[in-house]
Amino acid sequence: MRWIFVCLTLCLFTPASFANEDASEPNVKKSKNDICHDKSSRSYKRTKTYTPYETIEECLASGGRLPKK
């Protein structure tokens, strides 16, 4: 009975954004400045105006560039 309470508690307090993180965000974002940000980029989450891509190679082929480190 105790494990049911634990499971329900975890389900209720798990943020929806965490549970659906991969579903709502593309793998690569090309910013309005043509910079390709994958999920390991420091600017990925801050990039709000973008064109989505599946791979970094697709983004680069479209005229994008990698961010400066």
Does the pLDDT of residue 67 top 80, yes or no? yes
For the segment 20-44, what is each residue's pLDDT rounded down to a tens digit? 455 589 999 999 999 999 999 999 9
Q: Are 31 and 37 in contact (CB under 8 A)?
A: yes
**pTM as predicted:** 0.66
For the segment 46-62, what is each residue's pLDDT rounded down to a tens digit? 999 999 999 999 999 99
- 67: which 2 tokens? 């961010």
